[in-house]
Amino acid sequence: MLSTFYKVDSGKVGLYLIPFAIGNFLGPVVLGRLFDTVGRRKMIAGTYIVSGVLLLITAYLFKQGTLNATTQTICWCVIFFFASAGASSAYLTVSEIFPMETRAMCIAFFYAVGTGLGGAVGPLLFGSLINTKHVTPVFWGYVLASGLMIAAGVVAAFLAVDAEQKQLEEIATPITAAEADVVGEREDGARRDVARGRRHAGVGRGSSHGWAPNSSYSSVIDDDLHDEVAAIEAALRGNGPLDRDALKHQVNSRRWGPGCFARALSQAVDAGIVTRVGRSRFALARDSRPAGVPFVQRSQRERSGRR
């Protein structure tokens, strides 16, 4: 731009980039703190829309021929004062909407995609427009860029998350915590069902661990999860109470397929085989069966003994 339209010597172009770089740096430094006070949604939308409008005004002035190398550089400095703050904060804060376990991967993926598209398309497009050495094509390139910035600001205004001054876990519940809550709810529901059945039937095992005498392993556990539930039971029997991640490691659940461990653990809790002893910690439910005897065998022996 400087050498083609303002006839700046190529050896002096670097001097014009110094104030541009300063404005690019001061934007995040000055405005960055406002993203956690004024608000994510307002600041991201505001910085994108303001920079887009300023770029549109600059494009108009450029087309009218009212700018020179110095004033063009000043316009760029002001535009990137806002644009750099918005882009820097958006890249960082967008990762807050993802659960902790996927946050790093998501921000890396979107950053790579955004940088790949912008870094490839931008230079190719504007390079070809500038090589025409005509003002009008460059003007429309600026209009396109400003439209994209304004559109991004509008999207942020409607869809951005108000995450200022909040803990990350408040914004997006970790996957493990959500699964643990589901397991806890199912465990509580199973206990209520067992208690209700005992009140109506008037019989029980004589313990408080929620296993009715007419229950059977096969009627509670899905056919395709018998082996997985048995592996969880064996791991807890041999190692005692385990955190969820440690239990997954013990049973090598990576080979089970997506979501299989969570389903097997939930059904083990529903069946009274496993009990939750902490937010994300599990243990084998205390019962009277001998070590190594599955629930289905124990249940059959109890029924035959009563008969």
For 56-104, what is each residue's pLDDT tens digit?
Answer: 999 999 999 999 999 999 999 999 999 988 888 777 777 778 887 788 8
Q: Comparing 11 with 302, which gets the higher pLDDT?
A: 11
CB 186, CB 270: distance < 8 Å: yes
Model confidence at 301: pLDDT above 60: no
Residue 37 sits in the same domain as residue 81? yes
For residue 186, what pLDDT is reported? 57
Residue 92 sits in the same domain as residue 236? no
Model confidence at 291: pLDDT above 70: no
For residue 178, what pLDDT is reported? 55
Model confidence at 34: pLDDT above 80: yes
Model confidence at 300: pLDDT above 70: no
Which pair of tokens denotes residue 205? Answer: 């095992």
For residue 205, what pLDDT is reported? 33
Residue 48 sits in the same domain as residue 185? no
Residue 130 sits in the same domain as residue 209? no
Residue 156 sits in the same domain as residue 186? no
Residue 23 sits in the same domain as residue 108? yes
Residue 101 sits in the same domain as residue 122? yes
For residue 183, what pLDDT is reported? 56
Work out the pLDDT band at 254, boundaries 50, 70, 90. confident
Percent of the chain exceeding pLDDT 70 equals 78
Residue finishing a domain among 104, 139, 171: 171
Residue 285 sits in the same domain as residue 180? yes
DSSP for the chain? -HHHHS---TTTHHHHHHHHHHHHHHHHHHHGGGGGTT-HHHHHHHHHHHHHHHHHHHHHHHHHT---HHHHHHHHHHHHHHHHHHHHHHHHHGGGGS-HHHHHHHHHHHHHHHHHHHHHHHHHHHHHHHHTT-HHHHHHHHHHHHHHHHHHHHHHHHH----TT--HHHHS--HHHHHHHHHHHHHHHHHHHHHHHHHHH----SSSS---TT--HHHHS-GGGHHHHHHHHHHHHHH-SEEHHHHHHHHTGGGT-TTHHHHHHHHHHHTTSEEEEETTEEEEPP-SSPTT--HHHHHHHHHHHH-
Comparing CA positions, the residue from 157, 156, 183 lying closest to residue 283 is 183
Q: Comparing 177 with 150, which gets the higher pLDDT?
A: 150
Work out the pLDDT band at 117, boundaries 50, 70, 90. confident
Model confidence at 297: pLDDT above 60: no
What is the tens place of the pLDDT at every residue in 208-252?
Answer: 334 333 344 445 677 778 888 888 888 888 887 888 888 888 888
* Average pLDDT taken over every residue of the chain: 78
Comparing CA positions, the residue from 55, 52, 33, 54 lying closest to residue 43 is 33
State the Rg of the chain over Cα.
Answer: 31
State the CATH number of the domain containing residue 132: 1.20.1250.20
Residue finishing a domain among 136, 153, 171: 171
- The four Cα atoms 59, 65, 71, 75 give a dihedral, to 10 degrees, of -10
Residue 11 sits in the same domain as residue 150? yes
Residue 226 and residue 260: Cα distance in Å, rounded? 11
Mean predicted confidence (pLDDT) in 95-118: 82
Q: How many domains does the chain have?
A: 2
Mean predicted confidence (pLDDT) in 275-299: 62
Could you give the angle at the alpha carbon of 96 between the alpha carbons of 84 and 86, nearest 5°? 15
Model confidence at 302: pLDDT above 80: no
Residue 158 sits in the same domain as residue 198? no
Model confidence at 253: pLDDT above 60: yes
Residue finishing a domain among 171, 186, 220: 171
What is the tens place of the pLDDT at every residue in 160-203?
Answer: 888 787 777 677 777 766 555 555 555 555 555 544 544 444 33
Residue 157 and residue 44: Cα distance in Å, rounded? 8
Mean predicted confidence (pLDDT) in 20-45: 88
Q: Which domain holds residue 249?
A: 175-306
Residue 192 sits in the same domain as residue 291? yes
Residue 67 sits in the same domain as residue 183? no
For residue 177, what pLDDT is reported? 61
